[in-house]
Amino acid sequence: MPAIKEHISLKPFNTFGMEVYCDYFTEITSETDFIELLENGIYQTQRHLILGGGSNVLLTRDFKGMVIRNTIKGIEIVKKEDSTVHVKAAAGEVWHDFVMWTIAKGLGGLENLSLIPGCVGASPMQNIGAYGVEIKDVFVSLEALHMVTGEKRVFNREACEFGYRESVFKRKFKDQYFITSVTFELSERHQLSTTYGAIQNELQAMGITSPGIRDVSDAVIRIRRSKLPDPAEMGNAGSFFKNPEVPADQYTSLKTHYPDLVGYPLENGHYKLAAGWLIEQCGLKGHLHNGAAVHDKQALVLVNKAGCSGQDVFDLSTHVLKTVHEKFGVELEREVNII
Ligand code: FAD
Ligand code: EPU
């Protein structure tokens, strides 16, 4: 039975660095640990919050219940056919370390997703994405245990209902499954994805004309370091809002008023707008509220600049939502999980 501790500070377990406490805290290092936990009376009577790296949560108050940290480790090649390789990674593996492992093995597919904080187990939750790639592009399946029955279920790509920063685990199956591993299809003869303008510019700046997977990873790391705040230096959870989707007529009308508007067409005829641009145009870059701030290099990121509370960040996000709506008539949606 995994040890259960009482009244634990969650500060080391969330990248916003919020000092809140949970009533109970446990770490799961194997599937057996979790199955045993199901028999525990405290587990059975408390609310649960699963955490990996805590890099996509805003903790606004003490958590009245049990925090379950997934630290199950292990990476294995489970299938190899010609140059196609299936790699299964346990949920508690650190995402970036896993990406580096695949690159060291010469396996392409995850290089554009280098340096995203957090753990493997959370990657399907919001179908993590960056620089033109989302995990759904290389996803095979995941294994998860039901939070009440402990029954193991394998979800293939279709069953996960992936969308932009979305999956079935944020909707129909919210709080119902404990993800234990994820399997990806990678390739030894990988077709690189370098269409994202910033990658091309960075590779050029690095003097690289025929890049390999490691070059693309290096370029992505350089871009990310140049604009995203390092949680070790300034608390944050990456983009706080999603980039909004608007109908074509609204896009056209906005573009007429604001010729510099940043947006691009989607397959469904709608347009995706850059929320960072909208927020910046409202004059909110660097805006401060009780120590919570809109990041001065990337307006889509809210930061804990001076020991603020989760409620301060939440209130700042409400101010951003309201201001963007008043100026542009566009509704932003929070991307970070508010607890
Ligand atoms: P946590 O924050 O611990 O959890 C996130 C959610 O998943 C919670 O609801 C939690 O309950 C649930 N969960 C976690 N593990 C499990 C599990 N094993 N089973 C079931 N539920 C689980 N995201 C992107 O998509 N693209 C980016 O480019 C990106 N850049 C970022 C940059 C910075 C600087 C930061 C701080 C964050 C960034 N993020 C980005 C957000 C974040 O890194 C990802 O969402 C990441 O996948 C979260 O992983 P985590 O382990 O920290 O999840
Ligand atoms: N922009 C501004 N001002 C800003 C920020 C952005 O004008 O303050 C403009 C940029 O000039 C650019 C456009 O907005 O033209 C897009 O900016 P960027 O390339 O930085 O990406 P983003 O749309 O802000 C998204 C993801 C990131 C991901 C990057 C790279 C979302 C919500 N965010 O950000 O994901 O790393 O693209 O692919 O989709 C995250 O989810 O936490 C995250 C960091």
State the DSSP code for 83: T
Over residues 52-92, the pLDDT tens digits come to 999 999 999 999 999 999 999 999 999 999 999 999 999 99
pLDDT at 265 over 90: yes
Question: Rounded to the nearest whole angstrom, what is the distance from the C-alpha of residue 153 to the centroid of ligand 2?
Answer: 34
The domain limits of the chain are 5-70, 75-187, 235-338
| Residue 242 CB partners (closer than 8 Å, separation 6+) | 164, 165, 275, 332, 333, 334, 335
Q: How many CB atoms lie within 10 A of CB 130?
A: 18
Q: What angle do CA 184, 170, 90 make, to 5 degrees?
A: 35
pLDDT for residue 282: 98
Q: What is the mean pLDDT of the chain?
A: 97
Do 146 and 176 contact (CB within 8 A), yes or no? yes
Pocket of ligand 2 (CB under 6 A): 130-131, 198, 238-239, 242-243, 262, 274, 276-277, 280, 285, 298-300, 335
5-70: CATH class: alpha beta
Are 5-70 and 75-187 equal in CATH topology?
Answer: no
pLDDT at 1 over 90: no
pLDDT at 155 over 90: yes
State the DSSP code for 312: H
Question: Rounded to the nearest whole angstrom, what is the distance from the C-alpha of residue 257 to the centroid of ligand 1?
Answer: 36
HEC sequence for 156-173: EHHHHCCECCECHHHCCC
Where does the pLDDT of residue 297 fall: very low under 50, low under 70, confident under 90, or very high at 90 and above? very high
* Ligand 1 neighbourhood includes 236 CB (under 6 angstroms): yes
CATH fold group of domain 75-187: 3.30.465
User: What six digits make up the tokens of 231?
Assistant: 């949680």
Active site residues: 165, 239, 335
* Ligand 1 neighbourhood includes 235 CB (under 6 angstroms): no
* Ligand 1 neighbourhood includes 337 CB (under 6 angstroms): yes
Question: Rounded to the nearest whole angstrom, what is the distance from the C-alpha of residue 126 to the centroid of ligand 1?
Answer: 8
Mean pLDDT of 277-282: 98
Place of tokens 């056209």: 252
pLDDT for residue 74: 98
CATH fold group of domain 235-338: 3.90.78
